[in-house]
Amino acid sequence: TARAYVKVPVTTEGTSGKYYFAVKRSAETLSEAISSGHFMVLDPWWNASWSRKRPIHINNTGNSNALTDYQVMINITYDSDMNTNFSDIRVVNETSGETVPYWIENKSDGSWCKLWFNASYIPASSWCNDTYYLYYGNPSASSASDGEATFLLFDDFESGFTGWSGHTGDFAQSSEQAYDGSYSLKKTGADGHDNAWIQKELSTQDVQIITRLWTSDTLNNRGSVHLALSTDADHSYRVDLDPGGYIIIGEADNDAHVDVLANSALSAISSDQWVKLTLTRLETSWTGKAYLADGTEIGSVSYTLDVTTGYAGYYLYDSGHYADQFIVRKYADPEPTAELGSEEQICPTPIITGNTTYNFGVNYTFTEGSGGLDTDSFNISWSNNTASGWQNGTTDLYFNHTTQPHGYVAIDIWAYNSTEGKLSESPASDNVTVPNNAPVITNTSDWEGDEGELVYLDFDYTDADGDTCTFSTNATKGSLNTTTGVFEWQTDETSQGTYIWWFKVEDGWGGEDTYIATITVNDLYQPTNMSILNESINLLLKEQKMTGLSFLLGILIIAALVFLLLGVLVSNSVLTLMGAVTSFIAMALPIPMMPDYPYFGIALTGVLFLFGIIGFIITFYQWLTSYREGRGYRKWERYFE
């Protein structure tokens, strides 16, 4: 931001001027700044979308009075930089920086136009050269012509018939005839003076009324415009086109014609055409004039009246009469005139064609704008999160700049024309934040182990931006340290199964990475590689560590002993049968037989009985131990739920 204090000499001569500011780097001399392209003239330009402007020179040297809110007319010759229909025309007050209301009265596309604009202030007895500018050179601009904003009163009846007083029931908007546009005003009531007038309030005294009247040989009266007294709305003075070949100034009161105050000869008017009629009042001097469509004056009449008026409007006698473009403007004599000065061009705003990001940086590309002055070089203002600066006088069409992770690079690119010493009115601007680099989860692994073991996973990450990341998971067991990435879970005898959980790392900038881990907990007591019989016994006892085979043999041997003892007590035949059974067992086992001893089976039975008792005791002890530890009981429950 620059702040300047300027001492301006004050005079009483009515002179005015426009002040320009120029800046340079303090470290350079004026010649060095000009040579390096660091000397800038701050010449304001209203809008960079308009490539051309010309000053409007207003000559008010003949008038000793300053004029305010005065409607000035200027003829504009078509320039090839203008739109052919003059839709890009704008009038700007460069002192205030605001657009000025204007209205195009008529035009010939690609040739000329007649334009009125509202000048807020014109100094007395002098030229006004640097206040108002005509801008053009914007192909996409649409017309801003606005008669209602430009004049004291304006109605072209395109938006209806509103805001009028008097015999409004005898008038209406009509599309049957139109001077410009699609609609005009039509008298729909009967012929006569008692329903002839409509009007609008007007407090300004020195004015000119301008309108268009449709003339036809079928009409008894060719129409008129009037000014009515401020104290008596139906008492008026009018300029009238009389079909007898006169232009007259007449008086009407109480809905009746009173008198003809002045008249003058009127040239012949061919039937069915639009005629321009004006009524000018300057102090006590009243003047009426008529013109054909081509601008030829066909009649003029004057009269002196010292009255105070408060209304302006139409006075139409005949039914079926048409009128269009009702205009009331301020009037001074002599009137100021206006002409265009030399054309000025803008240095067009550059166009940014793209941006490409890389790690912690942005590459901008751009080109010169179209229209106006040529661009000789570019001045680039840049800023990031921690610094800012300029790169002036570059002819490169790119700009690279590196910032910090998650940082931004903002640029303003100004075009510069060294011949005129002008910068573009506005810069091409852009602001890009470098993209985030997502973290990558590392040290990933799955886990497999037995019940009772500790599940331990230690995740890590890498992040190109140097962000501090956090971990998260959807695991329903164990705990995760969100800072270190360590996951721990102490399993027990109920934990067997396969678990699939995700583990995620996030950087807080929208970046993340995820690993899907598989955790398998084995059942430590699940029997493997056993015979069907041994599995059945173990399922029954619910203890993997029990020796099912030894327990079974113990039971069989005890049962055999009981059977043997019973057999001895009963009969020898039973004993013999027992001996055969035990002999068969001995044959099945790798124990040598003793055939010379008839009761070898009994001795073998005793030995097997001893082993059976030992196996049973060992098995029972193991089961009892596991039961006390809780494993056997819970295993039993788990298998038989």
C-alpha dihedral (39, 45, 51, 57), degrees to nearest 10: -110
CA separation for the pair 465, 538 (Å, rounded):
60
Answer yes or no: do 373 and 487 share one domain. Answer: no
| Cβ-based neighbour number of residue 603 at 10 Å | 13
Q: Does residue 4 form part of some domain?
A: no
Q: Does residue 564 form part of some domain?
A: yes
Answer yes or no: do 376 and 499 share one domain. Answer: no
Answer yes or no: do 184 and 296 share one domain. Answer: yes
**Which pLDDT value is given to residue 597?**
44
**Could you check whether the bond before residue 527 is cis, i.e. omega within 30 degrees of 0?**
no
DSSP 348: P
Closest CA to 91 of 146, 21, 139, 41: 146
**Which pLDDT value is given to residue 49?**
85
Q: Does residue 609 form part of some domain?
A: yes
Report the CATH number that the domain containing residue 390 is assigned in CATH.
2.60.40.10
Answer yes or no: do 474 and 447 share one domain. Answer: yes
Q: Is 538 helix (H, G, I), strand (E, B) or coil?
A: helix
Cα atoms found within 13 Å of the Cα of residue 572, Cβ hemisphere only: 2
Answer yes or no: do 98 and 118 share one domain. Answer: yes
Domain boundary among 378, 411, 433: 433
Answer yes or no: do 551 and 624 share one domain. Answer: yes
**Which pLDDT value is given to residue 548?**
52
Answer yes or no: do 205 and 239 share one domain. Answer: yes
What is the bridge-based pairing of β-strands 512-522 and 447-450? parallel
Q: Does residue 512 form part of some domain?
A: yes
Answer yes or no: do 143 and 160 share one domain. Answer: no
| Cβ-based neighbour number of residue 539 at 10 Å | 14
Domain boundary among 336, 366, 394: 336
Consecutive 10-residue runs of the chain (641 residues): their mean pLDDT? 54 50 65 59 76 95 96 97 98 93 96 97 94 95 98 97 97 96 96 94 97 86 88 94 90 93 92 94 97 94 97 95 97 97 91 95 94 91 93 95 95 92 87 96 96 97 97 97 98 95 97 98 67 48 48 61 52 48 50 47 59 66 55 45 46
Answer yes or no: do 170 and 315 share one domain. Answer: yes
Answer yes or no: do 144 and 177 share one domain. Answer: no
Answer yes or no: do 422 and 542 share one domain. Answer: no
Residue 599 belongs to what domain range? 532-640
**Which pLDDT value is given to residue 21?**
59
Q: Does residue 5 form part of some domain?
A: no
CA separation for the pair 366, 396 (Å, rounded):
9
Q: Is 159 helix (H, G, I), strand (E, B) or coil?
A: coil
**Which pLDDT value is given to residue 553?**
58
**Which pLDDT value is given to residue 591?**
47
CA separation for the pair 620, 632 (Å, rounded):
12
Q: Which two tokens stand for residue 220?
A: 């008894």
Q: Does residue 36 form part of some domain?
A: no
**Which pLDDT value is given to residue 222?**
76
Answer yes or no: do 193 and 293 share one domain. Answer: yes
First CA to last CA across the chain, in angstroms? 83
Torsion sign, CA atoms 493, 494, 499, 501: negative
Residue appearing with tokens 């001795």: 603
Domain boundary among 463, 491, 522: 522
Q: How many domains does the chain have?
A: 5
**This prediction's pTM:** 0.62
